[in-house]
Amino acid sequence: MATLRLGDTAPDFEQESSLGKIKFHEFLGDSWGVLFSHPADFTPVCTTELGYTAILSGEFAKRGAKVIAVSVDGKQSHIDWIKDINDTQKTDVQYPILADEDRKVATLYDMIHPNASTTATVRSVFVIDPNKKIRLILTYPASTGRNFDEILRALDSLQLTDNYSVATPVNWKQGEDVIIAPSIKDPAVLKEKFPKGYTEIRPYLRITPQPDL
């Protein structure tokens, strides 16, 4: 199977999970989705990631995003592991963990990299929009925990730039100034779209306050 790329339709699947059978596209509905994989259950880095994602669950919900994890271990293993996660990370995991024992999801999303491991999934993240298009892909090695604050930040950027003719600059965070799309040159259009005004640093680099605030 070809490697998934930005803009591809996220492959649909049906798979068992810690919360029962999941039909992926049906599960997402009209929401954004964050699908993220783990090498195995009862591993230390994964435990911290799943716990922190649970802590952030309200933030994802505010953005209309559903999170779903995947590991190649079985449903009962996931259920037992969740008890450990909740205890050690002082949280309450409510989102599903896919029990991908047959590696169906791992194969569809190219989560197994033979150079790293022939059986375990790498730490992949796929952000999927309500049209089921893949909008962001991250892949980390098994030894490096992901920054889920960055995933939230990227989700904020995607949602903002979908609705306004802007891009977000380096290290941008919610509430900070953004960049006007270089394709907009008509002064009347600029005035209409950006009533708060803008600062022209260069003709191609124009800064304006975040337009939805």
Q: How confident is the model at residue 122 (pLDDT cuts 50, 70, 90)?
A: low
Choose, from 10, 34, 35, 46, the residue flagged as catalytic.
46
Residue 94 has pLDDT above 70, yes or no: yes
Whether 126 is catalytic is no
pTM of the model: 0.93
Residue 151 has pLDDT above 70, yes or no: yes
Give the tens place of pLDDT for each residue, 154-195: 999 999 999 999 999 999 999 999 999 999 999 999 999 999
Give the model's pLDDT for residue 121: 62
Residue 114 has pLDDT above 80, yes or no: no
Q: Rounded to an integer, what distance in angstroms lies between the CA atom of residue 32 and that of residue 66?
A: 6
Give the model's pLDDT for residue 119: 53
The angle at the Cα of 151, spanning 149 to 153, to the nearest 5 degrees, equals: 70
Beta bridge partners of 205: 202
Contacts with 34 (C-beta within 8 Å, 6 or more apart), sequence order: 60, 65, 66, 67, 68, 125, 126, 127, 128, 151, 155
Give the model's pLDDT for residue 36: 95
Residue 57 has pLDDT above 60, yes or no: yes
| Domains annotated on the chain, with CATH | 14-145 (3.40.30.10), 164-208 (no CATH)
Nearest one of 56, 34, 52, 6 to 145, comparing CA atoms: 52
Strands 166-167 vs 22-23: parallel, antiparallel or unpaired = unpaired
Is the pLDDT higher at 120 or at 166? 166
